[in-house]
Every structure is written in structure tokens, then in C-alpha cells.
Amino acid sequence: MTRRESAATVSSLRFRDILGQRRVVEYLLTALRQQRLAHAYLFLGPPGVGKETTARALAAALNCQHPQDDGEACAECPSCRRLAAGNHPDFQVIAPTSEGRQPQIRIDQIRDFRRLTAYPPVEGGWRVVLIKPAEALNQAAVNALLKTLEEPPPQHLLALTAGVEDDLPPTVVSRCHKLAFTPLPTDLIVQALLKRGLGSSPAVLLAALSGGSLGRALALDPEDLLTQRRQVLTALQELPLGNTSGVLAWAADLAKKNQEVENFLLLAQLWYHDLLLCHVGADLRLLSHQDLTAELQAQSCQTGPDFCFARLAALGAAQRQWRANLNQELTLDVLGLSLQEGEFAS
């Protein structure tokens, strides 16, 4: 790794590079400067919005040998470089193991960490431990972790990540300082994708599908997504023309493709949302399917708002039932029959 590559990697761990979480960043930087950090933080929010990156930025700042005046890491010292390379001895990640039927964070992982706390940090700074996701802690691991949360060793900081606090034992939540991470604005995700070399239209589409999560947007393959979109639009056009047996066959086939179901529901909802925007004459820059503007405008002349609202209602209901694991094939059967009702409506 060259010096420039290393510095670039470390810069991504700086607080200033964390997107869309200004309140959290300012709070932690103030606590750093005033030396008033809590011994344990609970970072709450959806996946892919910067919780893990914030924990790494905090570890970098705490262990930097030449911190900047604002509390940021320098990105040049040996400590920063080791953290960027993923081999810093005082930064540890505790994540679910693949053992057993369901991945969990187990008691032996917490015991190993607790044994480590009997010794000071290797480099004399802070030992930062990231537990992600905290929902994966089994009950035995929770009980073992509580001992550390109740009697935190000096120069140790824990960062736990979770979606919502209700999924965690109250005994854990009450012993951590909570910080809420919010979904990222779409324009921030678009800009981040553009900086990574993605074209404007796919960047807008990925951002719209991301649900405010840069991590999800980066995990999506643009080419696969465009292929899926064409399949979705073909299905939306052909379902009203087919018979009931064809609809049920479509539903049975789609039900076998778990991730494609989620993308189908999201892409279809975005399509009808874009049609509504065309109906009201909205700025075309608000469209998610910007590369299909002409097709959207043509269909908007043949459909009315009630048609779009009905389709959105059916898709939304199917999405809720699918995510709740409520007889998933039946959910798609009902959706297919709903989408079959009338090709166009005015």
C-alpha cells in the first residue's frame, strides 16, 4: 500500500467523511475535545448509514498520535495506518459466528474480550470494541457483557450497533449512551455513488432503492438491477393480459427468488410513484427512473392517478406481508391478481 493509498483509506475513517450524521459527529467530537466520552455507546439506526464507520473514526481519533485541533485523527501516524489496514491491536470487532443454525454472538466471544480487559491497551491509548449487531448477542453473552458495562475498565470504550433499542435487553440499553443515526438523504447517496464513477441515471435509481442506506446502495449491482427492472416492467405490462393460471405461475416462480421479490416490490413502487410525478407535472429531476422519462410520460397519458394509487396500495400491502413472512407465495398470488385487474385506468 502506497502512502497516498494509505492516507486515502484513513481519511475515510475521519468524522468529516461520515455522510449525513452531523449531529452525532458533532456530539462525539465535542466529547472528545472535552474528554467526556461515555464508556459505552449504543449506535441506533438502519444498516449502512455510518454506525460502524463512526466507531472506527472514534477509535482512530482516540489512538491518533498526532490528533488535529478539532479532535480528528491525523491520517498519517503509525496508529492511523494500522487502523486503516485493519490490524490495529487495540481495535476489536465482535460479530456473530457462523456456528449453529443461527449466527449469534456467543458467551465465549465476550469472555475472550473480558480476559483482554485485564490488560491495558497494547499501544497505551484506548481499546475500542465494536459489537455488531448487538441484537445477535445471545442471553449468556448479554449476561457476561453486563459485568463489563457495570464496571468498565479504564481506557476501554464499547460501541454497540443495533436497529432499534426495543430489540435489545433493557439492561444493556440502560448502561449505554444512545446515539440515533438517521437514513441518509437521497442526494447525498447520489453524490457518493457519482464519486465512485457510477453514471447519473443508475446512481439516482440505486439511491432511490437504498432506503437511505449507502451500504445498501453500494451492495446493489447496477447492471443486475437494470435487468431486473426490465423484467419488472415486462411483468407489469403482461400480467393484466394473462389468465389466472398464468398469474399464479408467475407468483410461484417469483416466490423462489427471495431477494428478487424485494427488488420487484421496490422497483414497481418507484415506477408508479414516478407516474404520479408525471401526472402532476413535477420536475423530471425528481424521477427515480430518469433514463425512462419518455416511457413514463407516454404511460402517464394513458393512466390516471387512481390507477397508480391502487397499484401502490397493492404493492405496499404485499411488501408488509412479505417482510412479516406471512405465507409468502399466497402474498404474491394476491399481488398478481391485484395487478391483473385492468391494464390501464383513467
pTM check: above 0.95 = no
In the chain, how many domains are there?
2
Q: Quote the domain boundaries for residue 306.
A: 221-340
According to the model, what pLDDT value does residue 99 have?
Answer: 65
- What contacts 24+ positions apart, CB below 8 Å, involve 73-81? 73/10, 73/13, 73/14, 75/7, 75/10, 75/11, 75/14, 76/7, 76/10, 79/123, 79/125, 80/10, 80/13, 81/6, 81/10
7 in Cβ contact with 75 (< 8 Å): yes
**Is the preceding omega at residue 133 within 30 degrees of 0, hence cis?**
yes
Do both 129 and 25 map to the same domain?
A: yes
Query: Contact 91/83 with Cβ under 8 angstroms?
Result: yes
pLDDT in tens, the chain (346 residues): 333 333 334 446 789 889 999 999 999 999 999 989 999 999 999 999 999 999 999 999 999 999 888 888 988 899 999 998 889 999 999 999 876 667 899 999 999 999 999 999 999 899 999 999 999 999 999 999 998 998 889 999 999 999 999 999 999 999 999 999 999 999 999 999 999 899 999 999 999 989 899 998 998 999 998 999 999 999 998 888 878 888 899 988 888 887 789 889 999 999 999 999 998 998 888 899 988 999 999 988 888 899 999 999 999 999 998 888 778 889 899 998 988 875 443 3
For residue 13, tell me if it sits in a domain: yes
231 and 318 share one domain: yes
Cell representation of residue 298 = 407516454
- Domain assignment present for residue 259? The answer is yes
Among 130, 161, 180, identify where a domain stops.
Answer: 180
Helices 200-209 and 222-238 meet at what angle, rounded to 10? 70
The four Cα atoms 213, 214, 219, 220 give a dihedral, to 10 degrees, of 80
Q: Are residues 283 and 137 in the same domain?
A: no
Q: Is residue 213 part of a domain?
A: no
CATH number of the domain within which 230 lies: 1.20.272
